[in-house]
Amino acid sequence: MLLTFDRVQKSYPGGRPVLRDVSLTLDRGQTLALTGESGSGKSTLLNLAAALDTVDGGEITLDGTALSQLDDPGRAALRRSALSLVFQQFNLIPSLTVDQNLSFHARLAGCHDPEWSAHLAQRLGLSDLLQRYPENLSGGQQQRVAIGRAMAARPKLLLADEPTGNLDETASATVLDLMLSLVADTGAALLLVTHSAEIAGRLDRRVHLSGGHIA
* Tens-place pLDDT, residues 73-118: 999 999 988 999 998 888 999 999 999 999 999 999 899 999 999 9
CATH 3.40.50.300 fits 3-214, yes or no: yes
Q: Could you say which DSSP state residue 40 is in?
A: S
Cα 197 to Cα 2, 37, 122, 187: the distances in Å are 25, 12, 30, 24
pLDDT value of residue 96: 98
pLDDT value of residue 169: 87
Q: Are strands 65-66 and 83-86 parallel, antiparallel or unpaired?
A: unpaired
pLDDT value of residue 211: 87
pLDDT value of residue 38: 86
Burial of 64 (0-12, 13-18, 19+ CB in 10 A): exposed
pLDDT value of residue 166: 85
Rounded to whole angstroms, how far apart are CA atoms 191 and 194?
10
pLDDT value of residue 210: 92
pLDDT value of residue 70: 95
pLDDT < 70: residue spans in the chain: none
pLDDT value of residue 12: 86
pTM of structure: 0.94
| Residue ranges per structural domain of the chain | 3-214
